[in-house]
Each structure stands twice: as C-alpha cells, then as structure tokens.
Structure 1
Amino acid sequence: MSTDDVCEVVVTSDSAEWLVGFTRRLVDDRLAAGGHNVTAIRSIYRWAGSVHDVQEARVAYTGSRSGRSCKGERWP
C-alpha cells in the first residue's frame, strides 16, 4: 500500500470500552488495518445552539482509500 492510498478515520465515543470493542471488530473484519485508541480526551464543540465540554474516548483508524475501510461500506 503506497502512502497515497492511506487514509485515517476518526471516531469518538462517550464509552472507551465500547470503542475498544468496536475497534477490535473492525480490525477482525478487515474493515480497518488498525486503530489507535486514546481513552481520555476533552471535546469542546458547538451542537444544537449550545457549547458542550465533555470527556470522551477517541480512536483513529488507518486503512486503504481503495479498500472498504475508508469508504465506510460495511461499518457496523
């Protein structure tokens, strides 16, 4: 896989444990080459007219642009 074919997909969740299980399923099903889980992040964002400040977990998945992993074709 060339570096031009690599992509990254970032997902956040309020549940670090759920995100670990989700990552394992994606890797097991070959929908992502791998995932880097970060269990404690602080997200500040505007949503529905309010500013939110929450603790979350984050994972960055790596995969191939030409494969299914970066197109989200079969993500659970």
Structure 2
Amino acid sequence: MCPGIEDVEHSCCFTGDKHDLCTRDLPPCPNSNQYLWWDGFHPTQQAFSIIARDCYNGSAVCSPMNIDQLVQA
C-alpha cells in the first residue's frame, strides 16, 4: 500500500452517476489525503504526489526511464 493512503478501494467523493464522477452538491470526504481515488477515474493529490516522487527517483511506473535518468542523459 502507498504511504499515508489507507483506502485504495473507495473514492473520496460519492459517485452515484453512471459515469463514476462525483455527485454534484455533495461534499467530498474530509480526509482526501487518505484515499487513492478522488472519483471513479482520477487519483487524489496524495496519489499523484507519490507517483511524481517515484517517477523522479526511479520506479517501474515511469518507463523507459525516470526523470533523474532523463536529466543525466
């Protein structure tokens, strides 16, 4: 599991429509940094921060090379 993210299954906002997007006029969760998903499709800012960190420092997520390797090339 990703550090700081406790819920990787549910979205932070209530998704009740057929497109899996946030339901209008309903507040999102108060602790979005603990969720992997904002809605049915989009990661939260916390998830993007983890991906960006890993892409810079080296990870299989970023292929064929990470940002640090690209700068040194």
Answer yes or no: same fold by TM over 0.5. no
Structure ranking higher in strand proportion? 1
Structure ranking higher in helix proportion? 2
TM range (shorter): under 0.3
Q: TM-score, normalised by structure 1?
A: 0.26
Q: TM-score, normalised by structure 2?
A: 0.27
Q: Tell which structure's C-alpha radius of gyration is larger.
A: 2
